[in-house]
Chain A
Amino acid sequence: MTAGQMPRWADYILMPAINVAAAFFVSGLVVLAIGENPIDAVRILVWGAFGWNEGIGFTLFYATNFIFTGLAVAVAFHASLFNIGGEGQAYIGGLGVAFACLALDRFVPWWVTLPFAVAGAAAFGAAWAYIPAVLQAKRGSHVVITTIMFNFIAASLMVYLLVNVMAKEGSMQPETRTFEDGGRLPLLDTILPGVDFGSAPANLSFVLALIACVFTWVLIWRTKLGYEIRTFGANQTAAVYAGISPVRITVITMLISGAMAGMMAVNEIMGSQHRLLIEFVSGYGFVGIAVALMGRSHPLGILFAALLFGMLYQGGAELAFEMPAITRDMIVVIQALVILFAGALEHMFRPALIKLFGVLSAPATRPA
């Protein structure tokens, strides 16, 4: 049976909402089991993420990371490629940002450095996706395997570089020197009048992420390249028939995907940390997979899914603080449940929902 009949809004909005509700319900049971009040927990979580300015600032900051890594996965999805190397691509992307900032920060203002940092992040991220892409396109080595392996290679490479090559002179820390003002993005609340995010690091990268959403939408649905990517993703035989080279499309798609992941580093490195340090990606690349799944590979969906995960990160931290019985690990459990329901079990409620719509629409179409 094919996709079945469901209005589009149900597919794009109702489905994810039900999945999240189910995840929260199960999380609630877990909270109950350890003897806390689930209603209170939800209240603290949501309030922690959206109820106060600093919370909002943190939520937006995390969401920015998720938007980039989510878009990276989504672009590849459209070509039926499963890029799970966002983690490593973002990590290496950090190198591009750091090179630009270290070279320029003492001489020019941030807005001169920014284009170089963005280009560096994209180029380095893309380069890290290039080898798996070529291996897939020419040799048939599956990108799932190679991109995973490249995550490990990236981690080792970065440790080597940060310890042996790029570390600040006379320091034992595996990190570069801190950037001067020319290598720091302005915080969102300094640009937006009347907003104060306190100590939250939400910065201009959020705007960059929104631009990336629009860019992805235009690319996928309004350009010839996007058409080729979608054709290749939906039916490879038809793509060959249409004169679309599988090698070319695989490589180009993976380059764009890697570039998107790489740009996550702009937010972390130039927007917040102001230095390159080890393990700054800390799982954002992997969560991007869940974000893309939940956002159904559509930029708008990804935006909302990224905000949801931003909320879980920020609200979760707040929850761990307010309810001592709920530890950091518990928060990870809740996040995992959302990933489970939104990603892995995405289709669990679908048949029931389709049936429901069948029942609901039947009397409406038969007046007699």
Chain B
Amino acid sequence: MSEQLAIELEGIDKRFGAVQANKDINLKVKKGSIHGIVGENGAGKSTLMSILYGFYHADGGEIRIDGKTVTIASSQAAIALGIGMVHQHFMLVENFTVLENVILGAEGGARLSKGIGRARAELKRLAADYDLKVDPDAITGDLPVGLQQRVEILKALFRGADILILDEPTGVLTPPEADHLFRILRVLRDEGKTVLLITHKLREIMAVTDEVSVMRRGEMVATRETSKTSMGELAELMVGRRVLLDVEKTPAQPGAPFLSVEGLNVRDARGVDVVKDVSFEVRAGEIVGIAGVSGNGQSELLEAIAGIRPARSGVVTIDGTRIDLAAARRDPAEIRSYGLAHVPEDRHRMGLVTRFHEYENAILGYHRDPACGRGAFLDLDAIRATARAGIEKYDIRPPDCALKTANFSGGNQQKIVLAREIERDPAVLLVGQPTRGVDIGAIEFIHKRLVALRDAGKAVLLVSVELDEVRALADRVLVMFDGRVVGERAPETAESELGLLMAGATQEAAE
């Protein structure tokens, strides 16, 4: 590998009000390498990448690209310097075709047809060179997230990117999709491109990166050659203490059923049956995990139980109260009042109002509680006190409940939702992707909280695409495929067997 540097950062500073997001950052990234960046939630990773991509201006410091000192005033400037970025929340026009999305903003002249012809040829070449196959005429919104992400990568390469930044690209991917992404990244590296990869999954760091840098509280604390470090060391560098990578729990002591679902059928807006005749129970004092490749009805299952999504038929019993989910007057607020809490899978779309202050989100869904104020009025002092308690307990950073929620880092936003739902001490907790985008220190804490809730005799229904997480936390595992529960297994069951079930192999074949 050549020792040329693609990126050199020196003394980068960035402050948001009272928060020093980046403090005197130095970083050297070798040309033609995959460089990982890890760090706790709010450590300043996304901020640093945004500076590199021209979204934010550094307050001070120097950026050198290919040895030349540059100022990156805008993302156009970044693109001109050969820097491309794949955003965590995709920036694609959903009802455009793949081709249209790729050329958006780089149409090349007033006559669209000429640009399109050129783009089509170029797209073909990129697809062949980098194993980036996507149908150029598919409607982007119809593609699974893994392919949408490929469109983002194509977009960057189409603009001539030599440096590719990926901010938590695997958060939304299934393991096979993630593997494919890594294959692509390796090809890109071998072609001489430089890749900057942010992720919370240390396994991925170990698998694909050449070097890895660790950030903590706005500072760059270490850079290691990946082959000369370990997950344990990285975890310790990130958090500043030893981290338990495994969940500690005693055997479950299941009691009476707290949540029971009978004959649930859900049809989505397109008229497709997404949940088919699902029945199961979760007892007090146990965690039931639902394993499955995302998009097999898990999200819809949670939303239907919570009363958010209409069901065609189905009855749910929560702590003794029967609710007909097919009734026209389903009321999520009412279901909540029977002791159900719900951590939705997608915090941005559903779990938070990003425009609100943190303390306003700390009561979302519970705002009618007398604890939030008597009668028609909000008691802001009481609400802020609740919010501060959550911030403290879940170590949400920065510890400022008046900050706009959008200004918290991704993992801290997730913690806001978790604090709100878990700390109400619900009888039944529905939790979807509890640790998506959350750092390993926080994962440890969240897992402990979920186990503690179980040990306090509550029922937890866990949906996660992370098979490891399901196996570590759950006392029983239900596997969902194509809207059905296709099997129940003990969490100790071999990963290969669960994997087969998740892939739709019939029950007998898996046994």
Contacts and interface: CB of A to CB of B under 8 A. Distances in A.
Mutual binders A and B = yes
B349 interface: yes
Interface in B327-367: 331-334, 336, 342, 344, 349-356, 360, 364-365, 367
A238 B342 CA distance: 12
Interface stretch (A111-119, A203-211, A227-235, A290-298): A227-235
Chain A residues touching B, majority SS: helix
A191 interface: no
Given A365-B15, A368-B60, A237 B350 contact: yes
A241 B365 contact: yes
Contacts of A238: 349-353, 364
A235 B360 CA distance: 13
Nearest to A221: B378
Contacts of B59: 362, 365-366
Contact of A235 (B15, B306, B353, B377): B353
B376 interface: yes
B504 interface: no
A35 interface: no
Given A227-B367, A234-B356, A241 B351 contact: yes
Contacts of A195: none
Contacts of B480: none
Interface residues of B, number: 36
Contacts of B353: 230-231, 234-235, 238
B372 interface: yes
A358 interface: yes
Given A224-B373, A235-B353, A358 B57 contact: yes
B406 interface: yes
Nearest to A231: B353
Nearest to A232: B353
B419 to A, nearest CB: 16
Among B331, B353, B365, B376, residue most surrounded by chain A Cβ atoms (within 10 Å): B353
Contacts of B356: 230-231, 234
B308 interface: yes
A241 B57 contact: no
B448 interface: no
Contacts of A362: 57, 59-60
Nearest to B334: A243
A1 interface: yes
A72 to B, nearest CB: 21
B60 A237 contact: no
Given A224-B377, A234-B355, A242 B406 contact: no
A245 interface: yes
Contacts of A231: 353, 356, 364
A240 interface: yes
B394 interface: no
Contact of B336 (A227, A243, A358): A243
Among B306, B360, B365, residue most surrounded by chain A Cβ atoms (within 10 Å): B365
B96 interface: no
A243 B332 contact: yes
B318 to A, nearest CB: 14
Nearest to B14: A365
Nearest to A226: B378
25 contacts: A1-B55, A222-B380, A224-B367, A224-B372, A224-B377, A227-B378, A228-B367, A231-B364, A234-B355, A235-B349, A235-B353, A235-B354, A238-B350, A240-B308, A240-B332, A241-B308, A241-B342, A241-B344, A242-B332, A242-B365, A243-B333, A243-B334, A243-B368, A365-B13, A366-B59
Interface of B: 13, 15-16, 55, 57, 59-60, 306, 308, 331-334, 336, 342, 344, 349-356, 360, 364-365, 367-368, 372-373, 376-378, 380, 406
Task: For the complex of A and B, list the 5 residue pairs with the smallest distance between their C-beta atoms, beginning with the closest.
Answer: A243-B333, A242-B365, A243-B332, A366-B60, A366-B59
Given A234-B355, A241-B351, A245-B331, 17 more contacts: A223-B378, A224-B367, A224-B372, A224-B373, A225-B376, A231-B353, A231-B364, A235-B349, A235-B354, A238-B351, A241-B306, A241-B350, A241-B364, A243-B333, A365-B13, A365-B15, A368-B60
